[in-house]
Amino acid sequence: MAGDILVVAEHSDGAVKRPSLEALTCAAGLAGSLGGSVTALVAGPGAADAASACGAHGAAKVLTLDVDVADTNAWAAAVAGVATEASPALVLFSHTARGKDLAPRVAGKLDRPLASDCTELSVDGGAVVARRPVYAGKALVNVSASGTLLATLRPNAVPATENAAAGETSAADVKAPEKGLGAVLAEIVAAASEKIELTEAAVVVSGGRGLKEAANFNLVEDLAAALGGAVGASRAVVDAGWRPHTEQVGQTGKTVSPNLYIAIAISGAIQHLAGMRTSNYIVAINKDPEAPIFKVADYGIVGDAFEVVPRLTEAVKAAAAAG
């Protein structure tokens, strides 16, 4: 129906991911204004177990899709199949590793526009308006479409809150989706240890060239571990080969928007700021009081990272131990 919203919810073994709970919360608010309801689409093993969390966050209905989620193209075909039947106002994804790969595929199949990496969605005159950063967050655009709009929601942009709805589960009646289309997933190699996805983390601790050598990143890793956060890096450090490309924060790396961003020995070049300036709180530790990072830091400490960071890590651990 015209005011309805489909939310593609990601989960692992039935545990719905936080960015998806945020998308559901956002959708529930919009559906209220549009006079429609929210349907969550879940796929993959354990999909049925994801239903109650979807319901608790505002989904009136939960459709399970019987597809192989490793095959993004098949998954996209299934979502497109449901969307064609439902002709909703909005199909919402999270701007996660999977979501940003999946959403353009669905857009291609439906030939409908996609507003990617939105930080806010609202309703104006009965239509969904998507607000999204452009030019690496140096500007924002507000976009809308007539008819179904697709959007991906940036993690941490909208807090997840409970908003109980029926959460009635049924299996989606989608035609057997096309197979692979020439691209077949051959292998997935797990990381040495399960990592918190940088773009989804609530806390990010990043290190820069001021740390002098790769081995000193243990300072960053220890603080990140104490805070339960993810590790990021400046481009200088990635280009030097100290850290993998997947950890680069900035205009040509990842855009992060955590609750807390800690920049250690990073100068704060415009391209780095582009990737983290929308973080809720920014802490900077740098020995140069003139470093541009201090212009955006809510809490700046002028000092030597090798002295300040270990003390901070101890303090965080002590606070955690004290409960």
Partner 1 sequence: MNIVVCIKRVPATDTRIKVGADGTSIDETQVESIISPYDEFAVEAALQLKEAAGAGEVTVVSLGPAETTKELRTCLAMGADKAVLLKDGDAAKRDAQTTAAALAACISGLNADLVLCGKQAVDRDQGQVGTLLAAKLGLPCVTEIKKLEVADGKATVERAGDGGTTETWNVTLPAVLTTTKGLNEPRYAGLKGIMAAKKKPIEEVDAALDDAHITVKSLELPPPRREGRIIGEGPDAVDELMRLLREEAKVL
Ligand X SMILES: Cc1cc2nc3c(=O)[nH]c(=O)nc-3n(C[C@H](O)[C@H](O)[C@H](O)COP(=O)(O)OP(=O)(O)OC[C@H]3O[C@@H](n4cnc5c(N)ncnc54)[C@H](O)[C@@H]3O)c2cc1C
| Nearest alpha carbon to residue 9 among 133, 145, 56 | 56
Contact with partner 1 (CB under 8 A): which of 35, 126, 159, 244?
Answer: 244
Contact with ligand X (CB under 6 A): which of 43, 77, 205, 291?
Answer: 291
- CA–CA dist 90, 2 (Å, integer): 9
Q: Is 225 in the site for partner 1 (CB under 8 A)?
A: no
Tokens of 228: 């339960």
| Nearest alpha carbon to residue 154 among 137, 139, 171 | 137
Site size with ligand X, rule: CB under 6 A: 27
Contact with ligand X (CB under 6 A): which of 237, 256, 260, 283?
Answer: 237
Q: Is 120 in the site for partner 1 (CB under 8 A)?
A: no
Number of other CB atoms surrounding residue 49 within 10 Å: 14
Site size with partner 1, rule: CB under 8 A: 91
- CA–CA dist 88, 196 (Å, integer): 33
| Beta pairing, strands 11-12 & 15-16 | antiparallel
Could you tell me which stretch among 49-57, 168-176, 183-191, 212-220 binds partner 1 (CB under 8 A)? 183-191
Could you tell me which stretch among 37-45, 63-71, 181-189, 247-255 binds ligand X (CB under 6 A)? 247-255
Contact with partner 1 (CB under 8 A): which of 187, 215, 322, 323?
Answer: 187
| Nearest alpha carbon to residue 256 among 238, 235, 237, 231 | 231
- CA–CA dist 274, 229 (Å, integer): 20
Identify residues 268-287 at the interface with ligand X (CB under 6 A): 269, 271-272, 275, 286-287
Q: Where are the alpha helices (DSSP H) in 4-96?
A: 18-34, 51-56, 72-86
Q: Is 216 in the site for ligand X (CB under 6 A)?
A: no
Q: Which is nearer to ligand X, 270 or 315 (CB)?
A: 270
Q: Is 116 in the site for partner 1 (CB under 8 A)?
A: yes
For binding to ligand X (CB under 6 A), which residues are involved? 208-210, 234-237, 248-253, 265-267, 269, 271-272, 275, 286-288, 291, 304-306
